[in-house]
Amino acid sequence: MAPPAQSKRSASPSQPSGKSEVSDLKSQLRQLAGSRAPGVDDSKRELFKKVISYMTIGIDVSSLFGEMVMCSAASDIVLKKMCYLYVGNYAKGNPDLALLTINFLQRDCKDEDPTIRGLALRSLCSLRVANLVEYLVGPLGSGLKDNNSYVRMVAVIGVLKLYHISGSTCVDADFPVMLKSLMLNDPDTQVVANCLSALQEIWSSEASTSEEASREREALLSKSVVYYFLNRIKEFSEWAQCLVMELVAKYVPSDNNEIFDIMNLLEDRLHHANGAVVLAAIKVFLQLTLSMTDVHQQVYERIKAPLLTLVSSGSPEQSYAVLSHLHLLVTRAPYIFSADYKHFYCQYNEPSYVKKLKLDMLTAVANESNTYEIVTELCEYAANVDIPIARESIRAVGKIALQQYDVNAIVDRLLQFLEMEKDYVTAEALVLVKNLLRKYPQWSHDCIAVVGNISSKNVQEPKAKAALIWMLGEYSQDMHDAPYILENLIENWDEEHSAEVRLHLLTAVMKCFFKRAPETQKALGAALASGLADFHQDVHDRALFYYRLLQYNLSVAEQVVNPPKQAVSVFADTQSSEIKDRIFDEFNSLSVVYQKPSYMFTDKEHRGPFEFSDELGNLSIGTESADTVVPAQIVEANDKDLLLSTDEKEEGRDPSSNGSAYNAPSYDGTASQTQIELAISSPSVPGHALPSSLAIDDLLGLGLQLGAATTPSPPQLKLNQKAVLDPGSFQQKWRQLPISLSQEYSISPQGVAALTSPPALLQHMQGQSIHCIASGGQPPNLKFFFFAQKAEESSTFLVECIINTSSAKAQIKIKSDDQITSQAFSTLFQSALSTFGFP
Amino acid sequence: MISQFFVLSQRGDNIVFRDYRGEIQKGSAEIFFRKVKFWKEDGEGDAPPVFNVDGVSYFHVKVAGLLFVATTRVNVSPSLVLELLQRIARVIKDYLGVLNEDSLRKNFVLVYELLDEVIDFGYVQRTSTEVLKSYVFNEPIVVDAARLPPPGPGSIFMQGTKRMPGTAITKSVVANEPGGRKREEIFVDVIEKISITFSSSGYILTCEIDGTIQMKSYLTGNPEIRLALNEDLGIGRGGSSSHAGAVILDDCNFHESVHLDSFDVNRTLALVPPDGEFPVMNYRMTQVFKPPFRITALIEEAGSLKAEVIIKLHSAFSSSITANTVLIQMPLPSFTTRISFDLEPGAVGNTTDFNQANKRLEWGLKKIVGGSEHTLRAKLTFSQESHGNIVKEAGPVSMTFTIPMYNASGLQVKYLQIAKKSKTYNPYRWVRYVTQANSYVARL
């Protein structure tokens, strides 16, 4: 009996299809319900199968509920199981009918066969009907005490199911406590593992409202519990071992001996054939040794071979998961893997998701000793039939070129790409040559010779076209034909669909004009006219700006368009190191595959037990202590404000003057997602005496940056003494906001001494209108979360402050919805902290 | 922790669908299938095994033309879920004997039974075929395996070679033989996959062997088994250098049932094999070995709009061994319009083809005996002049093959010992070797 293979598209529940079959089934089931004829069970089985197969393909068979329940009163276990499956699927939508099943499920929960007891209990808990929870408590209670481990195993998960239907019923019946005692005493490891899963879920979700739950959750990480699990780890199934090791990875051992004991115990897990077990063990190793640099490095060496073995055994899907983690490790410590680069060579039959990761790894591990071979290999892929991969390979060559000191050989290869006469190869190579020239202007001569031979007609992709035009403008004095090629392009202005290209065209023709005015004048006029008539706002505005600039003063215009430039020394990564660390902390989770920390792709309640978090729930809530503090020292705080406003003005300008002295025009919003340019401010460059507000060169490509230089200095900062923020909003904001400042302060010896009583610090800060929302940790590492609000406005400052009492250092991270005053606030915070401990 | 599990056919039909936690909206199977389908059409290549749509993560593995899918909203270990999907597929195969759309449709109720026991509320409970036996009550409906092209690397044993019992690999662990009694037997397969890249001058640029010792046991009473490998087997390249000719593996890992107590002493694995199919040991070797085939390929311009391709193939293994299902492929310049092939006189079992759609030359050889040499010449006609270097427009040559009773690494099962229950107890034991190409490439 198979599910019908006809098209399922028409069989969605909203459509009437299948109706006649369903009513047919209904009457047949009715006939059989009361029958005791021999062979009736077989006929019922056939009918049940039909019902389940309809259910699977999405036909709504919920109208058969009554008949199904009547028929399954029989003792045939196959029938029973099919009925359980059916009931579980439809009970939620038919709570009244679900009540019909309670009776026989409850009876089955008392059956003498443990398999039936387990099955019935599982189905009973799967009904997901809120008003039936009262019927669950009894059977669950006896299930947890059942002498058969199968039933207990089912009951433990049943408790979790109950919790999700009605948390209060579950907690009121004291089930979490019973689970805890089962977890620590049950002889069956699957029962124990289920208890751990269930308790982690229950306590994590209770922790935000119940202090006891958050204590219990902490207690799972206590030495005794962790050791209890570790000592039995080999009895657990491979899946439960993963669970246990995930727990151990969060445990903080008290000394190094403990660390080595745990690692020795788990050493052989690295040889497991199941990749999930190996990765879970690796996570433990990495987390435990974070503070021991040498050992941490040895761990990398140790895990290399097992990871590579996992990559090459198993299905492409399995190796992808492992490879993603290898990718993370390689980008973190490329030098450790640089000798293994051959393992990252692509095989022709690998799926492109694997190839992409490998190309990335090849880029990361390239260094002086292996670059030649890696680039040679990558060039082989450039001619690949798989075009996306061919493109990626060329980009990889480019990235390697930008991170190397000796690029001679690579430049030659790139120029060969330009001669390959494949559109996409030429396009990618042009973009690379442009980037390369911005970093190594000394190569311009060789590159320009080759680029000059490329017919602009063969370049269609906007990015590549923009790169070519940039080079035409930038090197117009060396490229004989530059003004004429530009002129040609301008003649076809209307056919150019990409605004990015048109913007570049404007700028390039301006540059060309200042170098070869007689030849370019006509083209410039045409470009400005077309630009002014352009429907695209940015293009229009830039044309107008150039026009007015030229009218105003030619030499100023030249300084704006063609200032002396300094080579870009580093193309920065878009991903901040904070994000990368965050992903590393979430090793062995989806974060690694997506290359994003979990808060970017999950909802809070689904973040799961893997989150390595600075959640407030981990820390004791400090609000009550703050309430009891008398607001004091207001006068002092005000004095500080006055002092502050002077310091402030200087520092406050910093972020904006970072804005750039040099910025090549390649960028508009779409130009690149993988690189942003790190502008180099170069006040010492001779001839660059322009006031900073004018030193913006082609920043116009970015348009909006203009404002940055003229940002008014921030007003003096006053804090609201009675600021309020509930922990929920704090967490939400903390998650959403970027870090505006991250700093390290020293703490006076008096301050350290006073920290023997952390609440004293909270009182002290409260006196400065900086409120503590949560704190925790044990000396020497203390962690505090503070917040403050501006007096007049609603902007809030959030602070994470980690104080190490042995090194007398405080690490501060400030987040704020008002970026501009963050620095001012930081100063305020520091001064508040520095006075701590002085009476 | 997963939220749903389902199996889709190639056309996107639900064959089984199980929602464990009820936290993901309806239609997830459709969302998933559309995403996978359009991934490729958007020119992004295959959809990765894990992706996220609107906060829901979708995991999938492809087995026997079917998509095994899990969904979740939680930040779980991707490795765990993908291993689990693969394991579920294997358990189902253990039960049904053959895993394909037909067998799954015929046995979907049994599969539901399995799924209920394997996962509860999204948490893995047990995946051992043996333990599951006592909770699964449906009898498998066995489909006729002979009609269907069998999947998986082990399946090649079913074809041709008379020394193997034909039904071995497709036999369900629970179904009884037609005679009523179960046959006591155990299969140990040493499966090796070769990846190798030859430079244009024939040097080996990279080489690797990925091997698995796969076991499938139909023994009753769980006797202990001892599996002895080469005594001079070395592990880890940094280790003490053994004498020449010794097999040195880079690394290996083991199934959890394996006891390694005597492995360090005499390279013997001891285990009590669970029911069903499982890898006893996976290993990886990059030590230089003798490649079973040497390929040399050449492309040369021969006048305007013409070129000639010559591919030579030399089989370097013993003449008592035969490779089968050999296929050689070579991408040609995109402006190639016509090919005329020229095989050696007397060549049998050869097929040649020019795949117009992706401009690829295909040369198939049914059988190749060891120590032989084969040559293919092809004349190409172009629609336009080649401007650049013609070598850059073509290649590389890639090759797939299967060689039964041969392994390239030299790793051997010296003996397979089964703890005896009685004097008359003498189960059948099959130790078999097979080598396949994974990525076998010669550059021009």
Helix or strand holding residue A571 (H, E)? strand A571-573
For the stretch A401-437, what's the b/e string if a residue is b when 16 or more beta carbons lie within 10 angstroms of its beta carbon? bbbbeebeebbebbbbbbbbebebbbbbbbbbbbbbb
Query: pLDDT at position A5, please?
Result: 45
pLDDT of amino acid A13:
39
pLDDT at A419 over 90: no
**pTM score:** 0.77
* Residue B249: per-residue pLDDT: 92
Token code pair at residue A322? 């492992």
- Chains A & B: contacts with CB separation below 8 Å: 251
| SS3 (DSSP) at A303 | helix
Model confidence at A81, in pLDDT bands (50, 70, 90)? confident
Hunting for tokens 């001679």 — which residue is that? A408
pLDDT attached to residue B169:
58
How many CB atoms within 10 Å of residue B371? Answer: 13
| Integer CA distances (angstroms), A238 to A195, B22, B376, in order | 16, 26, 51
What is the Cα–Cα distance from A735 to A596, expressed in whole angstroms?
13
Sort out which chain B residues have CB atoms less than 8 A from A128's CB and list them: 22
Q: Does A321 touch chain B (CB under 8 A)?
A: yes
Work out the pLDDT band at B237, boundaries 50, 70, 90: low
Coil/strand/helix, residue A419 = coil
**Which structure tokens are listed for A52?**
């389940």
Assign B209 to helix, strand or coil.
Answer: strand
Task: Give percent of chain B above pLDDT 90.
Answer: 55
Which residue in B has a C-alpha nearest to residue A235's C-alpha? B256
Q: Provide φ and ψ at B222, rounded to 5°.
A: 45, 60
Q: Measured between alpha carbons, how far is A61 from B316 in angstroms, rounded to an integer?
A: 63
pLDDT score for A413: 80
Q: Which of A85, A128, A153 sits opposite B112 (nearest CB)?
A: A85
Say whether pLDDT at A778 is over 90.
no
The torsion defined by the Cα of A94, A97, A100 and A105, in degrees rounded to 10, comes to -20
What's the Cα-to-Cα distance from A216 to each of A176, A203, A213, A220, A773, rounded to whole Å? Answer: 10, 7, 5, 7, 21
Q: Is-contact A587 B54, C-beta < 8 A?
A: no
**pLDDT band, very low/low/confident/very high, at A305 (cuts 50, 70, 90):** very high
Furthest C-alpha separation in chain B:
78
Confidence (pLDDT) at B180:
55
- Under an 8 A CB cutoff, do B55 and A122 touch? no
Residue A682 pLDDT exceeds 60: no
CA angle A307, A309, A314 (to 5 degrees): 105
Helix, strand, or coil (residue B236): coil
- According to the model, what pLDDT value does residue B379 have? 94
**What integer pLDDT is reported at residue B179 of this predicted model?**
55
Least confident of A9-23, A243-257, A772-786, B374-388: A9-23
**At B377, which amino acid appears?**
R
Q: Is there a contact between B396 and A348 if contact means CB atoms under 8 Å apart?
A: yes
How many other C-beta atoms can be found within 10 angstroms of the C-beta atom of residue A660?
22
Point out the least confidently predicted range of A287-291, A432-436, B379-383. A432-436
Q: How confident is residue A750, by pLDDT bands cut at 50, 70 and 90?
A: confident
Chain-chain contact of B254 with A272 (C-beta, under 8 angstroms): yes
B71 and B56 in contact (C-beta within 8 Å)? Answer: yes
Which of A46-50, A195-199, B28-32 shows the lowest mean pLDDT across its residues? A46-50
Tell me what the mean pLDDT of segment B39-49 comes to.
Answer: 83
Residue A22 has pLDDT above 90, yes or no: no
Q: Is the dihedral of CA A494, A495, A498, A504 positive or negative?
A: negative
Side-chain-side CA neighbours of B316 within 13 Å: the count stands at 10
Tokens of A40: 């009736």
Tokens representing A519 are 């030849």
The CB density around residue A290, as the number of other CB atoms within 10 Å, is: 12
Query: Is the pLDDT at A584 greater than 90, yes or no?
Result: yes
pLDDT for B407 beyond 80: yes
Q: H or E stretch including A283? A: helix A275-288
Q: Give the pLDDT band of residue A45 (cuts 50, 70, 90).
A: confident
Distances in Å between the Cα of A731 and the Cα atoms of A291, A430, A800, A823, B384 are: 27, 46, 11, 22, 65
In total, chain A counts a number of residues equal to 839
Nearest to A71 by CA among A90, A43, A94, A97: A43
Residue A664 pLDDT greater than 60, yes or no:
no
User: Which residue would you say has higher pLDDT here, A395 or A688?
Assistant: A395
Give A831: exposed, middle or buried? Use CB within 10 Å, 0-12, 13-18, 19+: middle
pLDDT level of residue A739 (50, 70, 90 thresholds): confident
Q: Is A190 on the interface with B (CB under 8 A)?
A: yes
Q: What is the DSSP string of B256-321?
A: TTEE-TTHHHH-EEEE-PPSEEEEEEEEEE-S----SEEEEEEEEE-STTEEEEEEEEEE-S-TT-
Token couple for A355: 């190839």
Percent of chain B with pLDDT over 70: 90
Q: What is the mean pLDDT of residues B356-366?
A: 91
Say how many C-beta atoms besides its own lie within 10 A of residue B155's C-beta: 14
Q: Is the per-residue pLDDT at B162 higher than 70?
A: no
pLDDT of A699 above 70 = no
Cβ contacts (< 8 Å) between A607 and chain B: which residues?
74-75
Tokens of A45: 């089985």
Distance, C-alpha B371 to centroid of its chain: 26
Mean pLDDT for chain A overall = 79
Pairing mode, strands B119-120 and B397-404: unpaired
Bridge partners for A814 per DSSP? A741, A799
Chain A, residues 373-402, CB within 8 A of chain B, namely 380, 383, 385-389
User: Cα separation of A127 and A501, whole Å?
Assistant: 60
Chain B within 8 Å of A807 (Cβ-Cβ)? no
The residue whose two tokens read 């045939």 is A76
A49 touches chain B (CB under 8 A): yes
Query: Is the model's pLDDT at A779 over the cut of 80?
Result: no
DSSP-derived 3-state class of residue B377: strand
pLDDT value for A508:
93
Rg (CA), chain B: 25
3-class DSSP state for residue A479? coil
- When CB atoms are compared, the residue of A270, A388, A590 closest to B57 is A590
The helix-helix angle for A423-439 and A462-474 (nearest 10°) equals 40
The number of residues in chain B equals: 444
For A179, left (φ over 0), alpha (ψ -120 to 50), or beta? alpha
- pLDDT given at position A610: 44
Both tokens assigned to B359: 């401009």
CA dihedral B380, B386, B389, B391 (to 10 degrees): -20
d(CA B122, CA B143): 30
In 10 A of CB A380, how many CB atoms?
20
- Specify the range with the lowest mean pLDDT, choosing from A41-50, A520-529, A726-735, B266-275: A726-735
> What pLDDT, in 10s, does the model give residues B93-144?
999 988 999 999 999 889 999 999 999 999 999 999 888 988 888 888 887 6
Number of H helices, E strands in chain B: 7, 26
For residue A273, give the nearest of B49, B77, B253 by CB distance: B253
Tell me which DSSP letter residue A790 carries: B
Task: For chain A, give the longest Cα–Cα distance.
Answer: 106
Give CA–CA dist A74/B262, Å, rounded: 54
Quote the percentage of chain A above a pLDDT of 90. Answer: 33
Enumerate the β-bridge partners of residue B121: none
Q: How far apart are the first and last CA of chain A?
A: 85
- Identify all chain A residues contacting B212, using CB atoms and an 8 Å cutoff: 313
Average pLDDT, chain B: 86
DSSP A751: H
Q: Do B250 and A308 touch (CB under 8 A)?
A: yes
- Structure tokens that stand for B273 in this block: 């094999």
DSSP state of B149: P
Mutate to test the interface with A, among B42, B80, B132 (most CBs of A within 10 A): B80
Residue B62 has pLDDT above 90, yes or no: yes
A603/B55 Cβ within 8 A: yes
pLDDT band at A698 (very low <50, low <70, confident <90, very high): very low
CA–CA distance, B208 with B441 (Å, rounded to integer): 12
Which A residues, 242 through 301, put their C-beta within 8 Å of a C-beta on chain B?
242, 246, 270-276, 278-280
The tokens for A687 are 């001839």
Chain-chain contact of A606 with B124 (C-beta, under 8 angstroms): no
Provide the chain A residues 117-146 that lie in CB contact (below 8 A) with chain B: 122, 128
ipTM value for the complex: 0.89
Mean pLDDT of A58-79: 80
Does residue B396 have a cis peptide bond before it, meaning omega lies within 30 degrees of 0?
A: yes
pLDDT confidence band for B52 (50 / 70 / 90): very high
Is A154 in the B-facing interface, judged by CB distances under 8 Å? yes
Query: Helices A293-312 and A316-332 sit at what angle, rounded to 10 degrees?
Result: 160
- Higher pLDDT among residues A675 and A363, named by residue: A363
The pLDDT, as a whole number, for residue A605 is: 56
Beta-strand (E) ranges in A237-377? none
Residue A4 is predicted with a pLDDT of 46
Exposure string (b/e) for A262-274, b if CB count within 10 Å is 16 or more?
Answer: bbebbeebbbbbb
Considering only residues B318 and B392, tell me which one the structure prediction assigns the higher pLDDT: B318
Instruction: Please name which of A822, A633, A115 lies closest in space to residue B131, comparing C-alpha atoms.
Output: A115
pLDDT tens figures, A516-565: 888 898 899 999 999 999 999 999 999 999 999 999 988 899 988 888 87
Q: Is the pLDDT of residue B327 over 90?
A: yes
Neighbours of A323 (CB within 10 A): 24
Distance, C-alpha B355 to centroid of its chain:
25
Task: List pLDDT tens digits, range A619-661.
Answer: 333 333 333 333 333 333 333 333 333 333 333 333 333 333 3
